[in-house]
Amino acid sequence: MTDTILVLGGNGKTGRRVAERLAARGTDIRIGSRNAAIPFDWNDPSTWKAAVADVSAVYITYVPDLAVPGAPDAVAAFTETAVGAGVRRLVLLSGRGEVEAQNAEERLRVVAEGAGAEWTVVRASWFAQNFNENFLIEPILAGEVALPVGDVKEPFIDVEDIADVAVAALTEDGHNGEVYEVTGPRLISFAEAVAEIGTATGREIAYVTVPMEAYATVLTEEAGLDGETVGFLTYLFTEVLDGRNAHLSDGVQRALGREPRDFSDFARDAAATGVWTA
């Protein structure tokens, strides 16, 4: 067994940062993606065994999200393959307030403990980076963000903090059996988040609350998203963002011994890159 760490979704928002941090430490890493030298595809279990061969630890991100039907079964099956190949440490990225995600967490725990492997869950709130690395960039550039979310508040988490927690769990002792629910240090609404981005960029950016049905129509007819993606976003906006997650958690503090980054810090640093420059 080597000290190689497999990073699933190594080109995604969290996986890329986890891989960069591990590489900076001199860790031997393997990127898990369909285009990697040793390909990995969640939809093709025949690729899993080679991907976990000679690997000591795995950072697990499920695409598109643990909330989708079938995710717990896939995570459990992958975990069985991993521990069967000798993987001794698993770190799963999960989501707050998602029943399917928590089912996947439990399935991973049962399989890992049954094989004597270590496991850690990083259960994250809404990513701050959704505003600068995802579907919200274009509306921000256009000067108006329209979403089916009203006054509900969310403790947006900076993905940099998620990556730091994941790397600690992958490389250090003392994190076995922990569920780190990671959030930012304060609750803000989407309208307040957009306003902070406006302040950071020196631009006027409006926020408009729209009905879910109208938003889904835009996603389908104008953005061209497929039915599965639209259904998932509908689930996020109508259920996960129904106020159930409008509270803070201390996962970053417990895992790292420091406070999480504030959304204003994220907005300032992102604005400095020019990503929101119209």
Instruction: Please say if the pLDDT value at position 7 is more than 80.
Output: yes
Q: Read off the pLDDT of residues 218-240 as tens digits, 9 standing for 90 and up.
A: 889 887 888 888 888 888 888 88
pTM (two decimals): 0.96
Q: Read off the pLDDT of residues 106-116 as tens digits, 9 standing for 90 and up.
A: 999 999 999 99
Q: Read off the pLDDT of residues 128-149 as tens digits, 9 standing for 90 and up.
A: 999 999 889 999 999 999 999 9
Question: Which strands make up the sheet holding 118-124, listed edge to edge?
Answer: 29-32, 5-8, 57-60, 89-95, 118-124, 178-182
Q: Which parts of the chain fold into alpha helices (H)?
A: 13-24, 48-52, 71-84, 99-114, 137-142, 159-171, 190-201, 212-221, 227-235, 251-256, 263-272
pLDDT at 69: 85
- The angle at the Cα of 14, spanning 82 to 189, to the nearest 5 degrees, equals 130
pLDDT at 234: 87
pLDDT at 47: 98
